Amino acid sequence: MATMHSLDNVIWQALTTRDAQFAESFDEARRFVREVGPLGAFYEHGTRGYASLAGLVGPGGTVGLFLDEPYAARPGWSFVVGAPLLQMVADNGIARPAGPDVRADIVDLGPQDSPEMIELTALTKPGPFGSRTHELGTYLGIRIEGKLVAMSGERLKVPGHTEVSAVCTHPEYTGKGYAGILMTEGMKRIRDRGETPFLHVRQDNVRAVEIYKRLGFRVRKVGHFAVLRKE
């Protein structure tokens, strides 16, 4: 029997390995504690997987899933939103700055910065970001006159790989290369630990996909993101 790649069913693998300390579980389902984020997963797609997930989220609860195929309607669940999702990996050892060659001071972000991080992600919507999301890994930022204007961090962690996530720039400061600067530094730090960077991006976010390709990422697989609500 072939061994599953660590980037397949990646949320499940994260919540049962390097992110296990952030997991809630019920039978064959796992999810991040709510303060960290809404993502969840089951061991195997099917009746038992969805039954386990239902026991975990409870009536009226929602969960975000990464699926291999588009979500197909199932009794007891409502589809909220979703989109085709690219999983990209930077496994060639190359990290090229994207955009203009801009010099900026990079700062490490911590718990004291969480309110500003939440404010910036609420404005730019790179993905869900909760009061404890910053605990998932290293978060880097750029401040202009004391204001946090760009950030990038880490989310899912599985053996040998770390996900680059929460990449965002305040609308008043876009086009200056800040995202590329932060991602390049984050990727360097991940590689310095002997790991490979990867990320997820909506397939229709063409501009972001092109930036990530210039940074050295390639498309590994096409999946589907789905937010479901338990009825």
Mean pLDDT of 156-164: 98
Specify the pLDDT at position 94: 64
Give domain status of residue 200, yes or no: yes
Specify the pLDDT at position 96: 63
Specify the pLDDT at position 57: 96
Long-range interactions of 1-7: CB distance < 8 A, separation 24+: 6/158, 6/159, 6/160, 6/161, 7/87, 7/89, 7/158, 7/161, 7/198, 7/220, 7/221
What's CA 22's distance to the chain center, in Å? 14
| Residue-range definition of the domain harbouring residue 100 | 88-221
Specify the pLDDT at position 97: 58
Give domain status of residue 4, yes or no: no
Specify the pLDDT at position 103: 59
**Percent of the chain residues topping a pLDDT of 90:** 89
Mean pLDDT of 158-179: 95
- Rounded to whole angstroms, the Cα distance separating 205 from 210 reads 9
Q: Give yes or no: residues 183 and 208 share one domain.
A: yes
Give domain status of residue 184, yes or no: yes
Mean pLDDT value across the chain: 94
Give domain status of residue 145, yes or no: yes
Q: What is the pLDDT of residues 78-90, one digit of tens each?
A: 999 999 999 999 9
| Residues 132 and 35 sit within 8 Å (Cβ to Cβ) | yes
Specify the pLDDT at position 104: 72
Name 72's bridge partners: none
Specify the pLDDT at position 25: 97
Q: Give yes or no: residues 38 and 78 share one domain.
A: yes
Specify the pLDDT at position 1: 44
Q: Give yes or no: residues 54 and 140 share one domain.
A: no
Give domain status of residue 31, yes or no: yes
Mean pLDDT of 18-38: 97
pLDDT band of residue 198 (cuts 50, 70, 90) is: very high
Mean pLDDT of 57-64: 97
Q: Give yes or no: residues 103 and 211 share one domain.
A: yes
Angle at 147 between CA 164 and CA 153, to 5 degrees: 10
**Domain CATH number, residue 16:** 3.40.630.30
Q: Give yes or no: residues 70 and 114 share one domain.
A: no
Q: What is the pLDDT of residues 117-151, one digit of tens each?
A: 999 999 999 989 999 999 999 999 999 999 999 99
Q: Give yes or no: residues 58 and 107 share one domain.
A: no
**Percent of the chain residues topping a pLDDT of 70:** 94
- Rounded to whole angstroms, the Cα distance separating 210 from 218 reads 10
Burial 54-82 (b: 16+ CB within 10 A, else e): bebbeeebebbbbbeeeeeeeeebeeeeb
Pairing of strands 77-89, 196-202: antiparallel
How many domains is the chain partitioned into structurally?
2
Q: Give yes or no: residues 116 and 16 share one domain.
A: no
Give domain status of residue 214, yes or no: yes
Specify the pLDDT at position 92: 82
Backbone angles phi, psi at 10, to 5 degrees: -65, -35
